Amino acid sequence: MLKYAQKDTHYLLYIYDMMKLDLLEKAGDAKLMRKVIGNSRDICLLKYEKLIIDDTSHRKLLRKGAGKIEDWEPQELEALRLIYMWRDKLARQMDESCGYVLPNKLLVQIAKTMPQTEQDLRLQGVRQQYVQTIHQLIVEAGNKVFKSEPSSEPLHDSSNLGTTNDSKDPSTNKNFEIYLIIPILVAFAIYFFF
C-alpha cells in the first residue's frame, strides 16, 4: 500500500515545477500563478459530505429518467427501494461505487421487470454472487406489498409531481384497481410457485 502511494505521488513535485514554469512563461509575472494557487486552495477547502441514504433515496433514480412514478406498480417501487438500499450498504462495505456493485440502469430494469427466478436475474446480467440476494429482495418486495392493507395514503408519492390525492373515496382513487387484483395475484403466486 505504501509503495502504491509512493508511486502515485512520485512525479507530483516535478509536475508542479513544470506547471509553475509554464504559468510564469505565459503570464510573464506571478499574477496567473497566484490565481491558480487561489483556485486550488478554494477547491481544497471544499468539505466532502457523504451522501445520506434514507427510505426515499431510491426515488432519485425515477427523477433521473427511469420513468414517472405513476408508471410504477407498488411492488416495483418496493423492489427498487430494497435493492437500492442493499446496493448502497454493500458498496459502502466494499468501499466501491454503487455503480460497480449494480449499475443504475440494471437496478431499474430489475425492479421494473421483477424477475421471478434466479435464472431470469442471471439472464439480465446480474453478477452470480448477487443473484440469490437480489432474488430474495424481489420476493420480499412482493410479499410486503401483498401483505400490506390499503391505506388512505396514495401508493405513489405525488408531492414531487405537484398533485395530491385528497379523495377519501377508494373507488375514485386510480390505484383502487390494484387493491382489487392483489388477492388474485397472491392466490396465483401461491398456486404456481409454492
Q: Which DSSP string corresponds to 54-116?
A: -TTTTHHHHHTTS--GGGS-HHHHHHHHHHHHHHHHHHHHHT--HHHHS-HHHHHHHHHH--S
Could you state, in order of their start, the residue ranges of all structural domains in the chain?
A: 2-45, 70-193
Q: Give ∠ CA 71-74-77 in degrees, rounded to 5.
A: 75
How far is residue 110's CA from residue 133's CA, in Å, rounded to a whole number? 13
Mean pLDDT confidence for 28-46? 83
Burial class (CB within 10 angstroms; exposed 0-12, middle 13-18, buried 19+) of 120:
middle
Least confident of 51-60, 110-119, 145-154: 145-154
**Domain 70-193 falls under CATH 3.40.1360.10:** no
Highest mean pLDDT among 29-33, 72-76, 135-139, 175-179: 135-139
Mean pLDDT confidence for 128-151? 81
**Position 82 pLDDT exceeds 50:** yes
How far is residue 150's CA from residue 175's CA, in Å, rounded to a whole number? 10
Decide which of 174 and 193 is more confident: 193
Phi and psi for 93 in degrees, rounded to 5?
-65, -40
**% of the chain exceeding 90 in pLDDT:** 10
What is the value of pTM for the model shown? 0.54
